[in-house]
Every structure is written in structure tokens, then in C-alpha cells.
Structure 1
Amino acid sequence: MNRIYKLKFDKRRNEMVIVSEITAGAGKEKSTGHIADLTALSPFRKLLGTLTPVALLTGLIAGLLPAMVLAADLPAGGQIVGGQGSISTSGNQMTIHQQTQNMATNWH
């Protein structure tokens, strides 16, 4: 059984805690002059708690907009004006077969 430990007083917990003998100590504390009141932070935390879901929802909507654009109808009225090829549509899938090196199309 490990017997390399010591008891140290934890000011945050206000009690004695068991710590390893090989760990470094916390060192000296720096004095700030006063302790901040937690009630002063409460409105900020409330605002942050409200804005976080709004920001997540905004990000979700912005992420879905490109998918909504991709779900648009297929273009119609395509004519091959240069080169050779064919354009065929079946349901929500369009196939363009290019038979020459260069091909140009016009969409109405």
C-alpha cells in the first residue's frame, strides 16, 4: 500500500485533504486587495446562459442554409451550343454526357 502522502489544509474546501508527498505545493498566494462578490457576476452569467443557446441555434440555421439551396429544383432548358453531348433528367438527377473535348451549353 502506498504510504507516501501528507495532510494539507485546503482553503477552498476549508478542510484537511490527503495529497501525495511528491506533488508541488501551491506556493504563496498573491493578495488582490478584495474578494469579488459572486452576486455581481450573476447578471453576466445569466446573460451568457441565455446567449449560448441562441448562438448555437443561429449556427445551426446558418449551417442548414447551404443544404436548403442544394435542395432546389434542377435547371431546365439546357441546350448544347458548342461541341457534342446530351443532357437528360430523371426525377431529381441530371446527367450530362460530353462527347467532345469542349462543350458549351445555354440554360434558359
Structure 2
Amino acid sequence: MDDGHGKSLLEVHVSRQTPTTAIRSHVFVGTTPLADGTLIESRQAPPGTGPGHEAVNVLHPDGLYVTIMQWQAPSQNAPSTRTTPILTLAQLRDIATSSQWR
């Protein structure tokens, strides 16, 4: 994807996890659930550790698992071609928590 400010890779993964124990203890360790039991984890790669990378993971109580990742490069291992992400972390979170995945 290229919005005229450099290439970016956006990945979306949607799956159903059963059981959720392993993913809870690995991805969501220390995360406080929302009132409905949904877990949300967001992260950004530290500057200088390769191409810029942001990710949002959402695990619903019924096992629906949504992950959205973006790189400021055309692929995961390519050098950055952008100085800022194509989407903000808030935009990634809005997409990942959308009811449209249900």
C-alpha cells in the first residue's frame, strides 16, 4: 500500500481461538480485560529497531481473535520507506475492535 508518502505493509488476521489459555498467557499477559471480557493489546516497535512496526491484538471472550499489523516498509524485513505509519495506532485499534469482524 502506498499513499504517496512511502510504501507500507498492512496485515490483518482473523481467527477463532479455542482454547484461549496459551494466547492469553503469551500475547495478553498483564492486560486488563474490558467490562465484557475483551482483551486489547497494542504495541509499537522502538525506533531504530528496523522498519517501523505497530500492532493491535484483540481477543473476545468467545475466542474471536483479530490482529492488525503495519510496517513502514513494503515488507516485514525491508528498510523503512516512510517516516510515519500509514495509520495511527488509534485507527488500527478502531479497525481491530470493529463489530464488523463478528
Whether these two folds match at TM > 0.5 is: no
TM band (smaller chain): under 0.3
Q: With a CA cutoff of 8 Å and minimum separation of 6, indicate the structure with the bigger relative contact order.
A: 2
In terms of fraction of residues, the more helix-rich structure is 1
- TM-score relative to the length of structure 1: 0.20
Between structure 1 and structure 2, the one with the greater Rg is: 1
- TM-score relative to the length of structure 2: 0.21
